[in-house]
Structure 1
Amino acid sequence: MRNLPLVLSLFLSSLSMQVLAGLPNGKIYGVNLGSWLVLEPWMLPQEWLDMGGQSCANCADCIATESAFAKAYPNTVDKIFAEHWRTWFNQTHVNELVAVGINTVRVPLGYWIVEALVHRPVEAYPRGGLGYLRDGLGWLQKAGIQVILDHHALPGVQTPGQEFTGKHPYNYHRALVWTAVMTSLAHLDSNFGSVFAIEAINEPIMNAALTPGYGEFQMNFVQTVRAVELTLGIPVPGVSLDYSISSTNFTAALGDTCSSSLFNANVTAAIEDAIPILIGIASEYGLGNVFTSSPFQCESPSLVTSFMDINWQYNNPPNPAKAAIGPQGYDNHLYYSFGGVAAANPDAYLTSVCNLQRIQNDAALGNSPLWFGEWGLPTQFYATDKFLCKWADAQKLAYSKGAGWLFWNFKTEISKLTNGTGLARQWSYLEGVKLGFLTKDPADYNDPNVCDPYINSTHSTS
């Protein structure tokens, strides 16, 4: 089948009715593993200083990012970050997540976890993260926790000081190579066995006029995932290869896919560039028997491709639903603490979230199922313990009307620089459970009727 755009349009009509086989049973009750493999110094200010980082008003003026750190300490960065990766998230934390009923984690990743994609020496990042990712995914799989791999920091930048969305062809290409590598690992590396979804991009800049090429990237991202899966013999609804796989070598079979006319030049170029990277990873981590030298067999289901929902952007954004081939999910992030959602008072917050229409609005545009991949308890005003119990319950009620939710973050640092538990009180899921704001069973509520007084209320919102 050569007419892929036709396949897309035909498949889209039935997508909203499809049960996504890759989703965890029931609702997603999850947390983010933020600041593990993409470090954000505000979440661990004392550790960052102890590592050798700096704090400043303008991140361009000091060592305030992973990239700046790697350039400042080229001879020791890998060893220093290895200690961070080893301690920030480990088996103890997995046990804690199991104890509080978490069934899903979202793992923010930078493009530099695939080290061959880093354009050195212009770009610099710590090396060795993939090994720690493999270990962590192995622990999560044994614990029965499913995983969304979130491409949190793509090549290039969307605004100064942010390491998220590339908007140039070279950077989009590298993002697609990353996608081909991660899709291959998700299906062939046994440590990745709990991965059910890959998120293409985290929080593209909201003004769609400033992200040229993003709609095309959405199409290419999905096609890259499906091209790898078809090569592996994984059924993809509505699409089949226009040639027979004869090779018993996966990377050689990928080379055959590059010669197919089914996928466009951007997709096949990305797969072609992923092949030597996969061969290198296979050699480094002892995966040659499944990647390069024996018959490959894959019985895992198709991955769920995931995007921020269409309503994340304005100014005529592309609709990611149009890119769907096979199972697809949508992500929305909601933080009231940054303003622009509701007036800065408890009643306005509760009125807003208890009457939230994002799930319905997205579904009307084909963006379903929708999960809330980031949210927390921070506010624009001092929040009492009593209010935080209500605030947690109300948000959980609202977000559970969709596919579920993932709290940001699983933990934050507790130190003098964070006012003890001051930061963790509203940003750490594990601390929120200890303090009673979040119930030990994520499906429970302190007050399941918390929204009753606010439904259809007219309290001031902005």
Structure 2
Amino acid sequence: ATSVMSEQELDQTLSGLLSTPFLVNAGPEQYTCPIDPNRETKLNDFHIRGTSLGGWMVLEPWLTPSLFYQFLGASKKWGDDAKNHVGIDSKTFCTALGSKEANRQLRNHWKTWVDDDQIRRLAEIGVEHLRIPIADWMYVPYEPFIGCWDGALEEMDRVLDLCEKYNIGVLLDLHAVKHSQNGLDNSGDTSHFAWVGNLTSSGAAYYEHWNMRGGDWIAPLEESIEVTDLVYMSTNVPHIIDTLHVVNLIVERYKNRKVVMGLEPVNEPWDKIPLALLKEFYWRSYQIIQLKAPHWITLLHDSFRLSKENFGSFMTNCDNYAIDSHIYQAWAWENTAEWFQEHACEDKMRLVEMEALGVPIVVGEWSLATDNCAMWLNGLNDNVPGYPKVTCEMIECPAPYMGKDALQPNAPPDKSLPAQDPFGTGGVSYVEYGMCPRDRPFAGERDVVRTLSYNKLHAFDPSTHGQFFWNFRTEFETRWDYQRAVELGWIPTDWNNNATQHEIEHACDAVLNSKKLPNIVHRPLHDPALTLYACLFAVFACIVLVVVYLKHNVYSAYSSFKAQREGYEVVPDSRTVLEEP
């Protein structure tokens, strides 16, 4: 801890974390924390819940389409140069508009997407924590963000002040890193995509992405025809070190802000990234955070590979951390409401399995969506190939969230126009004649989704270390909107109410009563000293029994005591073996 380290020692330790060669074949013992013999409390004694401020500092077109309508009809306006005037993520938003105009629009976006009323409202409806996605270029500017993102740090301070004002804790989430960790717009850089020109006689502009998706953050991606064949042939350690420097800057900047309670060093790294490299990055990030802000929680995303094999022996004996798992049903095939409700309950099983091993889990993102209909969920005018699997509901695109005075270009879209380019080459997700697609409702939507929500809360909240709903608001997507979900009665506001707790606790009884769930046992400290104390206490208790029964049968009592003492076993490691219920 920093309290027992001199400044020189801290600097030397930090220097080592930022410069020493990366381990690529490290075993579990390399990622084990030392024992604190004086510790009196259990490890990872925290529970966090809330929602995320998505779409604010890291742009995602589907969350704030009013900011991106201006790029529709690119070919008509720009002709063959359309590709240089289209924004599909944070990076191309800057290049398409130029830093001056982009910054003008961003400043208006920042102050209207998250304002005092929003944070106050979140506090009033019971939000305890906010996960705030941020970008590395905010702290170490590089092109094309220089000038484009000016004022972002001041905006961060404004919102942190509001969170402090309304008593909401903040977990910072490094959502976007240089070279992209996953090749999606939520990383700030869609990375591997290509303009394929005009594929139809209409002269519309098209871009392809899904057959070459991938990020170059942790290594240069070797391109192949099929995405399943994309592999990493080498590593970009300097990129990883750069991100560690950003982690250090973030901790240094906010370590004394009482409202900040943790950091996620990277969001949703792609599942093709070598797990050994990712764990080494996680370990060093955790060490940096512990050096400078030991009271912070470090959230580590599972890279969509949550299993006891991958994380069951990672970070043994470590405190103030959790593995972050994002669990959605939006990419499922078409199914009945009952199917989604049942599977929401069954998601609990693998989470409880990890918690039973002593691995703290936080479900860092979830929603109530059961289809891929949310407009631009998978990219501007694009979708995952083959999606959506259902016929989406179409509604009138609402007025822009910035207000009419903002004069946001092309917002809302012209009702007289059909779908406009640019088009992705995946599935369909377009604005047509001023109508926008959104999630298809179930029959009896309000009651059905409430049941679904409470099933998810049962799986994600009481049996884990917490959960964050994605997102705090949208423009018109109810099932992704925390505030609308509360208004509709889908999410409770008084988490400490006995009736609320009882309903969440028993929401999945009908589904899970027939399932075998591991016993939830918090990971014990694997400390030889504590093991010795426990044995001495047990021996003392046995001696007392011997004395009590001595007058009846001395030899029998002694034999019993000896048998008990020899039956004690030292726990071979700090993980708790799964027990049958």
TM-score, length-scaled by structure 1:
0.69
Q: 2:328 matched to which residue of 1? A: 335
d(CA) in 1 for partners of 2:142, 2:313: 29
Q: 1:453 aligns with which of 506, 510, 521?
A: 510
Q: Relative to structure 1, is the Cα distance of residues 54 and 118 closer, same or farther in structure 2, using a 3 angstrom cutoff?
A: farther
Per the alignment, residue 32 of structure 1 pairs with 52
Q: Which amino acid aligns with 2:480?
A: W
1:429 counterpart residue number: 482
**Closer, same or farther: CA 13–360 of 1 in aligned 2, 3 Å:** farther
CA shift, 1:163, in A, is 5.6
Structure 1 residue 359 corresponds to structure 2 residue 375? no
- For residue 428 of structure 1, report the CA deviation from its aligned partner: 0.5
- Alignment partners' CA distance in 1, 2:329 and 2:164: 33
Aligned CA distance change for structure 1 residues 320 and 344 (closer, same or farther; 3 Å): farther
Asked if the contact 1:351/1:457 (under 8 Å) is kept, the reply is no
Tell me the residue number matched to 1:112.
137
Q: Offset of 1:150 from its aligned partner?
A: 0.6
Deviation at 1:119, TM superposition (A): 3.1
Q: CA RMSD in A?
A: 3.6
- Partners in 2 of 1:147 and 1:194 — Cα distance? 6
The amino acid that maps onto 1:206 is: D
1:407 matched to 2:499? The reply is: no
In structure 1, C-alpha distance between the alignment counterparts of 2:57 and 2:329, rounded to whole Å: 26
Asked if structure 1 preserves the Cα contact closer than 8 Å seen for 2:126 and 2:493, the reply is yes
| AA matched with 1:404 | G
Distance 1:54 1:132, change over 3 A: farther
Shifted more, 75-84 versus 163-172: the winner is 163-172
Number of corresponding residues: 362
Partner of 1:148: 171
Task: Tell me whether 1:198 sits opposite 2:221 in the alignment.
Answer: no
SS at match of 1:144: coil
C-alpha distance in 1 between matches for 2:111 and 2:42: 40
CA distance in 1, matches of 2:183, 2:302: 23
SS at structure 2 position matched to 1:363: helix
User: Which amino acid counterpart does residue 148 of structure 1 have in structure 2?
Assistant: L
Question: CA shift at 1:314, angstroms?
Answer: 7.7
Partner amino acid for 1:43?
L
User: 1:10, CA displacement in angstroms?
Assistant: 5.0
SS of residue paired to 2:103: helix
Aligned to 1:338, what secondary structure does the other structure show?
coil
| Cross-structure match for 2:246 | 178
Q: Is the 8 A contact 1:377 1:391 kept in 2?
A: yes
Aligned to 2:93: 69
Question: What per-residue deviation string (whole Å, max 9, x for no partner) do you get for residues 250-286 of structure 1?
Answer: xxxxxxxxxxxxxxxxxxxxxxxxxxxxxxxxxxxxx
Alpha carbons of structure 1 residues 204 and 456: separation in structure 2 relative to 1, 3 Å = farther
Consecutive unaligned residues of structure 1, counting only runs of 5 or more, are: 230-300, 415-422
Is residue 335 of structure 2 the alignment partner of residue 344 of structure 1? yes
* Identity across matched positions, percent: 22
Counterpart CA distance in 1 for 2:171 and 2:128 is 11
Q: Is the 8 A contact 1:104 1:146 kept in 2?
A: yes
Q: Indicate the structure with greater helix content.
A: 1
Change (3 A) 1:182 1:62: same
Contact kept, 8 Å, 1:107 with 1:149, in 2: the verdict is yes
Q: How far is 1:394 from its partner?
A: 0.8
Asked which structure has the greater CA Rg, the reply is 2
Q: 1:306 to 1:160 in 2, by over 3 A?
A: closer
Distance, in Å, in 2 between the alignment partners of 1:48 and 1:111 is 22
Distance in 2 (alpha carbons) for counterparts of 1:445 and 1:42:
33
Take 1:320 and 1:207, find their aligned partners in 2: how far apart are those partners?
A: 21
Q: In the aligned structure 2, how far is the partner of 1:217 from the partner of 1:324?
A: 18
Distance 1:440 1:305, change over 3 A: closer
Which residue does the alignment assign to 2:66? 46
